[in-house]
Structure 1
Amino acid sequence: MRPLRSLLFVPGHRGTWVEKAVASGADGLILDLEDSVPEGLKADARAEVVRSIGRLRQSGSRAGVYVRVNALDTGLSGDDIEAVAVGGLDGLSLPKIFGPEDVVRFDALVTHFERKNGLEPGAIEFICNLETAEAYASCEQIAAASPRVAALFAGTARDADVSRSIGFQFTASGQETLYLRSRAVLAARAAGLEFPLVGVWQDLADPEGARRFSEQNRDLGFRGQVLIHPSHVEVANEVFSPSRFEVEFYEGMISAFEKAEATGAAAVRYEGMHVDYAHIKTAREVLAYNNRLLDRKGAHGLATSPTRS
């Protein structure tokens, strides 16, 4: 899976919003066929999503393109997948899954429609949405349920499916979901999934809260955030990128270590800290990740904040 610092929801039937979403700088889009689409417009939304995917790819956009289909128990999933399994689609966002069996069911549907629609087998990856108590309780199994699983999305939204399912009361500090989010990160990493996702921040009148939410989840190990409004894109891209301070710090660490290594030492004192091979592996991983962002987004790959530590 490519790095996705910001993944912005766009209602599937609102095709005119897609270009605006890309212009916001989002790394990826989720074209929604589920909760943001009125029941009577589902078929229209499928057709609009296909047109949107085509326009995005014809324009040369490098944004990741995902579609949130309807849940299995609606009976609409197969119709959704048959329509949107087209060239240019990166993957599906799977809503309201209850366990690994649901991932396997989605996998079977996608495998069928990839073949029917002439796509390369395995072309479509999955973002698995953790938004039920059952999903969180089995997130380790969900992460390993299919080779298509590319990321876990830890849903923590206020008054949404997850809060109703688990019964927590949302707070801005997030203590009520700390265990859930931590477990999701651990499950993703244990399954070899590099880019666990979190979201969403719903209070559009509290930009400082949005920043704190992003920073808190970055510190837990999340690599990106699902968003519902373009105003949150810039913050997410900044927070989930290595800062200039971090890049320069790790470049200096590697330089100091390599000089010491050339003299026969396997450890060095750097900025008051003991540094050995384990720390250098981390430093090189951070710089490699930053380079991946730079390759995709040009100057936007490096965060603008020079002081974050």
Structure 2
Amino acid sequence: MKPYRSMLFVPGHKASWADKAVASGADAVILDLEDSVPVADKAAARETVRETIGRLREQGVRADVWVRPNPLDTGLFGADAEAVLVPGLAGLFLPKVFTAEDVVRIDAVVSHLEQREGIDAGSVGLFITFETAVSIAHCEEIAQATPRVASLLGATGPNADVGRELGFEFTAEGLETLYTRSRIVLAARAAGLHHPMTGVWQDIKNLDGFRRFAEDSRKLGYRGMVCIHPSHVAASNEIFTPDPKTVDHCRRMIEAFRAAEAKGSAAVDFEGQHIDIAHVKTAEGVLALADAIGV
């Protein structure tokens, strides 16, 4: 999966909101068929989302388009997938997964629909959100359930699904979710998924709080935020974009190491720091991220 600094939720039944989401500068938009769509509007929302995916594809928008279907255990997932598996869909943003078996079953459905719709095999990704105690307890197996898994979401937030499931009391400092968020980052990296995401920040007007939460998440190893309001996108993009000074530092470090290597040295004193191949590999990762984002 390409690196996303920001993904923005959009109620699936509100077609015009998708255009606002794209205009916000989000790297990806998530057309939601789950919590933000009233039960009475679910069927109509499927058709709206299908049309929106086609329209955005025709417009050639920069943002990737994902869809959050209803969970597998609701009986609504099949109809959701039938409606939205069309060209232009980057993948399914899966809520309330429980086990790796759930992911394998969904993978089979997606594979069938890809073939039926003439979509390249394996091109529709699965983004796993950890909102249940069972899924968090099995996050390692879930992360590796199928090559179709593109990324993981270390979800947190007051009074939402994961908070109710785990029974924690949300704080801005996040110590109550530090273990689960850290474990999900580890599961992602162990599965070769280098761009885990976190979210969501529900206090819409508290942008300072959002920034602190995003910065803390970046330090923990997350590479972007799932947002619920357009006003959060710019801050998320800024926080998860490598700083130009850091990028320049990494370029100079690599150049210094390669020059020393050419003279037969496996380490170099770079601006007072001992640098060897391990540090160079880390720097190369920063440059790869910067290049992917376009810094």
Matching residue's letter, 2:93 = S
> How far off its partner does 1:118 sit?
2.8
What's the CA shift string for 1:73-98, capped at 9, x where partnerless? 11000000000000000100111011
**Number of corresponding residues:** 295
> How far off its partner does 1:117 sit?
2.5
| Greater displacement, 25-34 / 251-260 | 251-260
Q: How do 1:106-185 and structure 2 match up within 5 A? A: 106-185=106-185
- Say which SS state the counterpart of residue 134 (structure 1) adopts: helix
> How far off its partner does 1:114 sit?
2.1
Matching residue's letter, 2:286 = V
Q: Distance in 1 between matches of 2:232 and 2:246?
A: 22
> How far off its partner does 1:255 sit?
2.1
Q: Which residue of 2 aligns with 1:81?
A: 81
Q: Determine what percentage of the aligned residue pairs are the same residue.
A: 57
Q: Which residue of 2 aligns with 1:211?
A: 211
> How far off its partner does 1:25 sit?
0.5
Q: Which residue of 1 aligns with 2:256?
A: 256
> How far off its partner does 1:133 sit?
0.6
What's the CA shift string for 1:56-78, capped at 9, x where partnerless? 11111121111000011110000
Q: Which residue of 2 aligns with 1:280?
A: 280
Q: Distance in 1 between matches of 2:82 and 2:118?
A: 11
> How far off its partner does 1:189 sit?
0.5
> How far off its partner does 1:292 sit?
1.1
- Say which SS state the counterpart of residue 103 (structure 1) adopts: helix
- Say which SS state the counterpart of residue 89 (structure 1) adopts: coil
Q: Distance in 1 between matches of 2:147 and 2:291?
A: 26
> How far off its partner does 1:257 sit?
1.6
What's the CA shift string for 1:244-291, capped at 9, x where partnerless? 121111112112222222322211111221001111111112112101
Q: Give structure 1 stretches of 5+ with no counterpart.
A: 295-301, 303-309
1:246 aligns with 2:236: no
1:16 aligns with 2:8: no
- Say which SS state the counterpart of residue 225 (structure 2) adopts: strand
Q: Distance in 2 between matches of 1:199 and 1:85?
A: 25
> How far off its partner does 1:136 sit?
0.5
What's the CA shift string for 1:194-241, capped at 9, x where partnerless? 111110011112111100111101111111111100111111111111
CA RMSD of aligned residues (A): 1.0
Q: Distance in 2 between matches of 1:268 and 1:19?
A: 50
- Say which SS state the counterpart of residue 92 (structure 1) adopts: strand
| Greater displacement, 284-293 / 78-87 | 284-293
TM-score normalised per structure 1: 0.93
Runs of 4+, deviation exceeding 6 Å: none
| Greater displacement, 218-227 / 106-115 | 106-115
Q: Give structure 2 stretches of 5+ with no counterpart.
A: none
